[in-house]
C-alpha cells in the first residue's frame, strides 16, 4: 500500500498517494492546472512549461506534470509570477504558430486557442520569422500541417510509445526543429497505419483527417446518383459529443434523422454487416479448427491492425481471418445484392461509410475492395466530418426527435453493436461459435473479454474443449501479444486486435476531447457503456438470429463460406515494406 502524502494547493489541504504529481494532486482539489504537452498514458515530458507552479520556500517555477508531491509541500498555482510565465510562454508559442483560426478544423475546440483566451494573450507580442512548411497530404487519410505544430510531441509519443509504429519524429534542431517522417518523405510513403491516434492526441490543428465532405455534397446534388449512408456501431455513442452532449450519450435516432435531412439519401445500419462478419468469421474459425490451417486466427475487421501486420509481421498474414471488415462487406453487399434488387447500376450508387476511424479511409482505396474499377465504398467519413456536415446544413441536432434506419438493412443484433468496443468482436464471435458447436443459447455474456485493459485473456470450455482467447487494443499491446505467441509463451486459438486503445469508441476519427477530459475521465469506458447497454436492452443478442442474416443467406449467399459469400465477403492481404 502506497504511503499517503499531505500537502496544500492554494491553501486547500490535499492527501494523495506517494508518487502523484502536483498536476494530478491539484485535480483532487478541483483545480485544473493548464498544460499542452502532458497527456495521460501518452506524454509526460514537462516540455511546454505551461503547467508551471510555485512551491512555497523554493526559488523558481516547476513543471507540475512531472514534479512529484512531497510531505508538507505548499503549492501555489495562480501567483503573479506563475501567470506571467504562462502568458509569456503561450505568446512565444504563438509567435511561430500559423494563426488561421477561422478556417482551422479545430476552431473553437483548440487547446491553444482556449489558453490564449483564458490568459488574455496578445498573439502578436513577439513578432519574428515565421517558418513556412509544405503541408503533407500524401496519405489518403490524414493531413499534417507543421505550420500549426507547437512541438508538444503528443503525436510523436503516441505513434512511438503507444502504437510502436514510429512513422513520425522530431527532425533537425533549434529553430528548424519540426515533426516529420524519415528523410522528409511524405507520411503516405511510410509504414504509417492510418490509425489517427496522432490526430486525437494533437491539442491544435496540426493534424486532421483528409476530408471527403465536398464529394458527398456533390453526389447528393447529382440527380444521376443514388446516395446511401451506413454508420458504424460506435458513431451513435460519440456523435453527441460534437454537439455539447455528455460523453456516453446514445444519439442513434437523432443521428439517423440528421443524415436523412442532408438530402434524398438512405441510411443503413452497419451493425448488420457486423453480424454478417460474425457469421463468416465464426464459420471460418470452426473450419480452421477442423483443418490444418494456421492458428491462432486473428480478427480482420480493423484496417489499422491489418496494415500494421502487412508492414511488420507479413509472416502472420495467413493467420488473419479472410473476412472483410464490416465496412468492406457492406460496400460489396450494396454494390451487388442491393443494386440487383433495386435495378441500380453499381456505378450510380454512391456509398458513404460513417466510421470512427481514419484507417478506413485507406481501406476504401484498397484495389481488392472494388469490382471492375468501381470501389465498394466510395468514401468513408469520420464522426467529426459527419458533425461538420450536420452543422453546415443548419440542423438543430439536439432538438431532433429521431428516426429509424432504412430497410432492408435496419435490424441488427446487440452482438453487432459490440464491435465498437475492445473485446466486442471476440464476444460476438464466441456467442455464435458456442451456439453452433454446443447447440445452446445459454452463454450470452463473456465478461472476461470486456473492459478497457490493453490485453485481456480468457479460457472458455466449448463442446468440452478449452478455448484460449486473447484481446488486444492499441498496436503496442498487439506487438506484445504477437511476441508472446511467436516465443511460445502463449497458445491461443483466437485473437482479437484493434489498432486504437479501447477499440473503435476511441478511434482516430472520433470527437477530439481536450486534455482536461482525457486526463481525468474514463472516456473509453463511458463511450463503450453505450454499446453494452444497447446490447443488453435489445431483443436480438446473437448475430445468427438476426432475420436479415436469414434473408441474405436464403436469397443470395446460400451459407457462410460458400462460393458467392467467399467471393464477395472475403479478401486477401499484401506484404508491405517496413519504413
Determine which one of 281, 310, 385, 427 is catalytic.
281
Residue 63 DSSP SS3:
strand
155 noted as active-site residue: no
CA gap 362, 351 in Å, rounded: 15
Determine which one of 284, 385, 427, 496 is catalytic.
284
Q: Which residues of 514-552 are buried (b: 16+ CB within 10 A; e: fewer)?
A: ebeebbeeebbbbbbbbbbebbeebebbbbbbbebbeeb
Determine which one of 360, 361, 456, 524 is catalytic.
360
CA gap 97, 109 in Å, rounded: 16
Peptide bond into 417 cis (omega under 30): no
281 noted as active-site residue: yes
Question: Measuring CA to CA, how many Å separate 268 from each of 228, 234, 249, 331?
Answer: 7, 14, 20, 11
Determine which one of 363, 385, 427, 496 is catalytic.
363
Q: Identify which of 326, 389, 313, 360 has the alpha carbon closest to the alpha carbon of residue 507.
A: 360
74 noted as active-site residue: no
CA gap 427, 418 in Å, rounded: 8
Q: Is 558 left (phi over 0), alpha (psi -120 to 50) or beta?
A: left
357 noted as active-site residue: no
Determine which one of 110, 159, 504, 543 is catalytic.
504
284 noted as active-site residue: yes
CA gap 204, 193 in Å, rounded: 22
578 noted as active-site residue: no
360 noted as active-site residue: yes
Determine which one of 64, 181, 321, 473 is catalytic.
321
Phi, psi values for residue 508, rounded to 5°: -70, -10
368 noted as active-site residue: yes
Determine which one of 301, 302, 435, 500 is catalytic.
301
Is 476:163 a contact under the CB 8 Å cutoff?
yes
DSSP string computed for 362-400: HHTT-GGGEETTEESSSEEEEHHHHHHHHHHTT--GGG-
Residue 158 DSSP SS3:
helix
CA gap 423, 415 in Å, rounded: 11
Q: Identify which of 14, 9, 88 has the alpha carbon closest to the alpha carbon of residue 54.
A: 9
Determine which one of 74, 91, 368, 545 is catalytic.
368
Question: Measuring CA to CA, how many Å separate 490 from each of 144, 296, 470, 549, 559?
Answer: 39, 10, 10, 35, 33
Active-site residue set:
281, 284, 301, 321, 360, 363, 368, 504
Amino acid at each position: 500500500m502506497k504511503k499517503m502524502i499531505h500537502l496544500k494547493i492554494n491553501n486547500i489541504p490535499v492527501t494523495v498517494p506517494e508518487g502523484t504529481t502536483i498536476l494530478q494532486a491539484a485535480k483532487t482539489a478541483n483545480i485544473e492546472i493548464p498544460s499542452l504537452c502532458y497527456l495521460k498514458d501518452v506524454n509526460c515530458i514537462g516540455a511546454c512549461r505551461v503547467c508551471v507552479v510555485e512551491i512555497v520556500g523554493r526559488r523558481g517555477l516547476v513543471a507540475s506534470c512531472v514534479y512529484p508531491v512531497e510531505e508538507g509541500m505548499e503549492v501555489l498555482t495562480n501567483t503573479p509570477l506563475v501567470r506571467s510565465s504562462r502568458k509569456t510562454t503561450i505568446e512565444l508559442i504563438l509567435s511561430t504558430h500559423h494563426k488561421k483560426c477561422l478556417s482551422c478544423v479545430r476552431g473553437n475546440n483548440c487547446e491553444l486557442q482556449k489558453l490564449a483566451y483564458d490568459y488574455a494573450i496578445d498573439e502578436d507580442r513577439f513578432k519574428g520569422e515565421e517558418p513556412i512548411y509544405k503541408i503533407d497530404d500524401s496519405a489518403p487519410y490524414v493531413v499534417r500541417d507543421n505550420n500549426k505544430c507547437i512541438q508538444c510531441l503528443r503525436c510523436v509519443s503516441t505513434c512511438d510509445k503507444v502504437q510502436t509504429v514510429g512513422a513520425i519524429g522530431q527532425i533537425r534542431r533549434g529553430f528548424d526543429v519540426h515533426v516529420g517522417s524519415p528523410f522528409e518523405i511524405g507520411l503516405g510513403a511510410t509504414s504509417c497505419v492510418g490509425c489517427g491516434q496522432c490526430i486525437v492526441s494533437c491539442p491544435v490543428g496540426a493534424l486532421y483527417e483528409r476530408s471527403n465532405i465536398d464529394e458527398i455534397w456533390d453526389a447528393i446534388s447529382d440527380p444521376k446518383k443514388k446516395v446511401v449512408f451506413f454508420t458504424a456501431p460506435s458513431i451513435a455513442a460519440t456523435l453527441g459529443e460534437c454537439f455539447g452532449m455528455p460523453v456516453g450519450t446514445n444519439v442513434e435516432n437523432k443521428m439517423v434523422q440528421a443524415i436523412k435531412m442532408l438530402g434524398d439519401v438512405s441510411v443503413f445500419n452497419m451493425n448488420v454487416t457486423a453480424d454478417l462478419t460474425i457469421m463468416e468469421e465464426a464459420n471460418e474459425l470452426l473450419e480452421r479448427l477442423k483443418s490444418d490451417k494456421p492458428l491462432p486466427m486473428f480478427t480482420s475487421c480493423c484496417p489499422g491492425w491489418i496494415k500494421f501486420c502487412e508492414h511488420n509481421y507479413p509472416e502472420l498474414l495467413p493467420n488473419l481471418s479472410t473476412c472483410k471488415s464490416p465496412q468492406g462487406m457492406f460496400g460489396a453487399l450494396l454494390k451487388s445484392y442491393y443494386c440487383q434488387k433495386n435495378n441500380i447500376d453499381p456505378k450510380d450508387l454512391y456509398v458513404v461509410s460513417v466510421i470512427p476511424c481514419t484507417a478506413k479511409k485507406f481501406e476504401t482505396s484498397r484495389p481488392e475492395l472494388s469490382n471492375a474499377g468501381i470501389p465498394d465504398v466510395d468514401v468513408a467519413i469520420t464522426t467529426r466530418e459527419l458533425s461538420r456536415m450536420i452543422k453546415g446544413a443548419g440542423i438543430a441536432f439536439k432538438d431532433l426527435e429521431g428516426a429509424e434506419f432504412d430497410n432492408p438493412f435496419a435490424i441488427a443484433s446487440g452482438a453487432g453493436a459490440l464491435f465498437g468496443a475492445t473485446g466486442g468482436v471476440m464476444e460476438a464471435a464466441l456467442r455464435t461459435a458456442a451456439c453452433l458447436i454446443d447447440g445452446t443459447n445459454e452463454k450470452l455474456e463473456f465478461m472476461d473479454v470486456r473492459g478497457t485493459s490493453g490485453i485481456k485473456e480468457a479460457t472458455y470450455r466449448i463442446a468440452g474443449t478449452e478455448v484460449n482467447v486473447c484481446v488486444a487494443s492499441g498496436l503496442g499491446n498487439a506487438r506484445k501479444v504477437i511476441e508472446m505467441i511467436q516465443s511460445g509463451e502463449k497458445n491461443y486459438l483466437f485473437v482479437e486486435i484493434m489498432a486504437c486503445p479501447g477499440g473503435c469508441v476511441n478511434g482516430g476519427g472520433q470527437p477530439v476531447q481536450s486534455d482536461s477530459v482525457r486526463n481525468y475521465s474514463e472516456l473509453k469506458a463511458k463511450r463503450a457503456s453505450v454499446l453494452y447497454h444497447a446490447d443488453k436492452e435489445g431483443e436480438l443478442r446473437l448475430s445468427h438470429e438476426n432475420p436479415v442474416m436469414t434473408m441474405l443467406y436464403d436469397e443470395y449467399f446460400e451459407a457462410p463460406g460458400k462460393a458467392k459469400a467467399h467471393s464477395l465477403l472475403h479478401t486477401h492481404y499484401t506484404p508491405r515494406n517496413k519504413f
